[in-house]
Amino acid sequence: MEIITAVKGFKDILPPETDKWRHIEDTAKDVFRAFGFSEIRVPLLEKTELFRRGIGESTDIVEKEMYTFFDRGEESLTLRPEATASIIRAYLEHTLHAAESVTKLFTIGPMFRRDRPQKGRYRQFHQIDVEILGPDDPCTDAELLIMVIHFLGRFGLKSLNLEINSLGCLQCRPAFREAVVRFVRGGEEGLCGDCRRRIDTNPLRVFDCKVDTCRQIISSAPRLTDFICAACREHFSEVGACLTRFEIPYTVNTAMVRGLDYYTRTTFEVTTEFLGAQNAILGGGRYDHLVRDLGGPDISGIGFAIGLERLAALIPEEARGGAEGPFLFIAALGEKAVDKGFSLCNALRMRGVRVEMEYKTRSLKSQMKRANRLNSAFVLILGDREIDQNRALLRNMRASTQEEVGLEGLEETIIKIAR
């Protein structure tokens, strides 16, 4: 019979890769705690309207990538393609803004986008998503970026580029948008079909097109820098000044537009050449109208999301942490030995020591092979004859030494070594 495979673009994460993921998540929680963030958990399924309104009707995500279905023909629901809209929905639904003027939240979990799967791009992928709701000052933008760099620094990653840009505000962006439309209309026939369509719906997305001819055309298009209002300019230059003050290298990428419509002012991405075409480890930015657009009060926000698959791909196996083998492998030889070993194994596990053993007695050689494969620190060799003599052999696998130990008080002896 044929086996059933996973859905295309949906990936299993197997051990020991899961150890690396846990290490990343633990590090995130550790770093975020220091910066005052609390965890929020939001559902995977939301009303479709939330993403239409939040992310924007004319974005690729909403136009063609959402897993949307009618729940028994009654209500349109969507598997979340990102977490920001859901977090703000929860923030408003539970009036978190009434309790605190600054709310710092993070969540970790799967997102779903029906994009064309390729290396680094999946249909179910995972994000560590972080949001600060409340303040709109440039120091908050810098605070978030400092945290990003500190977090990535914990994995010793090299060759990361922090790119920042300002997308302006509702005052200055319309004139920029119009100028871009005027500009691309001049070379319209050189653009790909998608970009030609975008001229009317979402012209700034042309900046993000990967097609060579479009890239060439857009490379000399007007930039927001030529239209940015004084308030946005000052905000952006203060973000830059803060980053310089804390010695965080960055480059300004005036062509960065991001794929979601809610951004205003500061946007950013961290990229690396090691990821190939899908080179962004994380992306984010400020959104000063999203809370209001989702029916809430006038509250600013800024956040980012890290792609866990992409970050994990950059972290070497040795750095995964917590993946060491068992402390003890019990090699039991004979029925009595298995019986005795099973009791000891259980007692030690109850006290938090990682122990492995086999219940079918196999040769010492094959059990030692398995202990080696598991990378066990110690092996307790327990034979029926040794049990009759009230003793066993404890082998230190790292030092390649062994000693005789008495069965009396053996649990305590091992606990002492383990602690």
- Comparing CB distances to ligand HAM, the nearer of 121 and 196 is 121
- The nearer residue to ligand HAM, 311 or 337, going by C-beta atoms, is 311
- DSSP states of 101-163 as a string? SSEEEEEEEEEE--PPPBTTB-SEEEEEEEEEEE--SHHHHHHHHHHHHHHHHTTT--SEEEE
In contact, 313 and 272? CB cutoff 8 Å: no
Q: How far is the CB of 329 from ligand HAM (least distance, A)?
A: 38
**Tokens at 299, concatenated:** 């509250």
Closest by CA position to 367, among listed 408, 398, 330, 341: 330
Tell the residue number behind the tokens 């979601």, with chain if given.
Answer: 260
Minimal distance, residue 82 CB to ligand HAM, in Å: 4
Cβ closest to ligand HAM, residue 194 vs residue 384 = 194
Return the number of the residue (130 or 172) whose C-beta is nearest ligand HAM.
Answer: 130
Smallest gap from Cβ 359 to ligand HAM, in A, equals 42
Nearer to ligand HAM, 19 or 115 (CB): 115
Closer CB to ligand HAM, residue 308 or residue 345?
308
Output the residue with the shortest Cβ distance to ligand HAM: 307
Residue 184 or 305 having the CB closest to ligand HAM: 305
Q: Is the Cα torsion angle 31, 35, 39, 44 positive or negative in sign?
A: negative
- We find the least distance from the C-beta atom of residue 8 to ligand HAM, in angstroms, to be 13
Beta carbons of 175 and 183 less than 8 angstroms apart = no
Identify the CA nearest to 7 among candidates 116, 113, 127, 124: 124
When the beta carbons of 168 and 285 are compared against ligand HAM, the nearer one is 285
Write down the residue that tokens 């400092």 correspond to. Answer: 146
Q: How far is the CB of 140 from ligand HAM (least distance, A)?
A: 13
Specify the residue, 20 or 340, whose C-beta has the smaller distance to ligand HAM.
20
User: Got the DSSP string for 261-292?
Assistant: TT--SEEEEEEEGGGTTS-EEEEEEEESSHHH
Determine whether 133 is exposed, middle or buried from the number of CB atoms within 10 Å of its CB (0-12, 13-18, 19+): buried
Contacts of 195 (CB under 8 A, 6+ apart): 184, 205, 206, 209, 211, 214
Q: Which CB atom, from 104 or from 310, has the smaller least distance to ligand HAM?
A: 310
| Least distance between ligand HAM and beta carbon 65 (Å) | 8
CB of 117 to ligand HAM, least distance (A): 8
Rounded to a whole number of angstroms, the minimum distance from the CB of residue 201 to ligand HAM is 18
- For the bound state, the minimum distance from the C-beta of residue 23 to ligand HAM, rounded and expressed in Å, comes to 18
Alpha carbon distance, N-terminus to C-terminus of the chain: 49
Residues that bind ligand HAM (CB under 6 A): 82, 84, 113, 115, 121-122, 125, 127, 129, 131, 259-260, 280-285, 303-305, 307, 309-310
Rounded Cα gap, residues 379 and 29, in angstroms: 35
CA 343 vs. chain centroid, Å, equals 41
Least distance (Å) between residue 84 CB and ligand HAM:
4
10 Å Cβ neighbour count for 192?
Answer: 15
